[in-house]
Amino acid sequence: MTCAAAWSPPSSALGRRPGRGRRSSCSSVRPRAAAEEHSGGVGGVGEEAPRLVLLDSLDAAGVATAHARSAREGFAAQVGRLTGVNAETSIAISRGADLARAALCVAAEDDSLVSHSSVPLPVDAFISRLDDLSTGFCAGCNFPPHRAPPEVFFDYLDRYLYVHKGFRRTNGVSDVRALYLHSALTSRSGSALMLALIYSEIIKTVRIYGLLDFDAEIFFPTDLNGLPRGYDKQKSKSGDEPHIITSKSLLVEILKTLKTTFWPFQSNQSRSLFLNAAAANNYGPGALGGNQTRSLSLSAAIEMAAAKAAQHRLMRGVWTNVRFGDMRRALAACERLILLQHDPHDLRDYAALLYHCGYYEESLHYLSSYQTVMAGDSPSNWLGILEHEAVNTLRARVTLILAEDGWSNRRPAASYWTKNSEPW
């Protein structure tokens, strides 16, 4: 095929993609309002959404949060567009929420939380870069011949993205920048989730221009090295279903990956995040007696030391090592997962982090919400039993702390972000 035979969109079509516009990177929708728009409130328990703590606590500590709040509101606005039907559509179709903008709002908030920059992440500029990447496929020699079969179409697309543009997959554990869309666009290196999102944006652009005459789907790899690739859904097999990622599940997986990566308690990889935090809780206030004090293992002591080191680095404006976690970004990921109302376990995990930050009233509220949602569910395996017992222990500890005389007049949580003690 010669370049002259390739389809080229009209010059007017090569501008900003329809429906994007040059909107602000955020919306006036408040995170709390977005959560209340969903039926059932936080966790679906039918009550008013309680306060999400992170940004207010940073404000109280004198940390500027204007850019982080703007990004959070932008994310909440996109969550508000995820209706029941839209949330379950494939990212190759993606109606309702602008997934790329939502992902960039996540990146913008986290960047603001840890970079101490007075300049917000330019969300609109990265939207433009993504649009240019998408329209670049539709122009010149990059696009397949007219009415090419699906196999040829995807061969051209794979070659454009992974060879011509040089995008490659990177493990987020080795480089956390791979977990953010703006970094993937800049370095052309990202996680499988980021590459799948970019791949889907190109397909949606082709569909908007009316150049897609078959039902395209994206195969999301579940191994450690595979790349997202497209295929004709009409020729799919029954085994392909688990490899299809929906709009909501994409956002959930992005946030779960961030939560896991930045969780401050992760020395024991065989346990759940919550159990690691619960083990560290045994070293905190409100311990329930000598037996629990004696149960503090070496790994729990390591958890506490790692968390304290991470806090120490953050207070000096240093990006924390992933091994030490990052309380700010872990809290932010939990709060955004709560806005998505995907899994009640997010309420429990958030409560565990709030306990470590000294927000005992809010911790108790989220523990109560979690137990209300899970009422009637009995754990079916040893890990579930351990988590169930740890939730009861944590709730009892928080209740004892709050029962102390005059506790409501004390504000230990306000000092969490302002302690300047040495980490050891």
Between residues 309 and 185, the one the model is more confident about: 185
SS3 per residue for 28-59: CCCHHHHHHHCCCEHHHCCECCCCCCHHHHHH
pTM value is 0.83
Residue written as token pair 């306060």:
51
> Where exactly are the structural domains of the chain?
64-254, 264-285+294-324+343-403
Paired tokens of 131? 């649009």
- pLDDT for residue 131: 96
| Residue-wise DSSP of 70-103 | HHHHHHHHHHTT--HHHHTSBTTT--SS-HHHHH
Report the C-alpha gap between 359 and 364 in whole angstroms: 9
- pLDDT for residue 351: 96
Question: How much of the chain is in helix, strand and coil states, percent to nearest 5?
Answer: 60, 5, 35
Paired tokens of 99? 């997934």
Residue 314 has pLDDT above 60, yes or no: no
Report the C-alpha gap between 251 and 176 in whole angstroms: 17
Q: Across all residues in the chain, what is the average pLDDT?
A: 80
Mean pLDDT over 90-101 rounds to: 90
pLDDT-derived band at 129, boundaries 50, 70, 90: very high
One-letter amino acid of 139: A
Helix pair 345-357, 360-374: axis angle to 10 deg? 160
Mean pLDDT over 19-25 rounds to: 42
Lowest mean pLDDT among 42-46, 79-83, 212-216: 42-46
Paired tokens of 421? 């003690």
- pLDDT for residue 312: 57
pLDDT-derived band at 24, boundaries 50, 70, 90: very low
Residue written as token pair 């996109």:
78
pLDDT-derived band at 370, boundaries 50, 70, 90: very high
Can you tell me whether residue 379 is helix, strand or coil?
coil
Paired tokens of 43? 């966790």
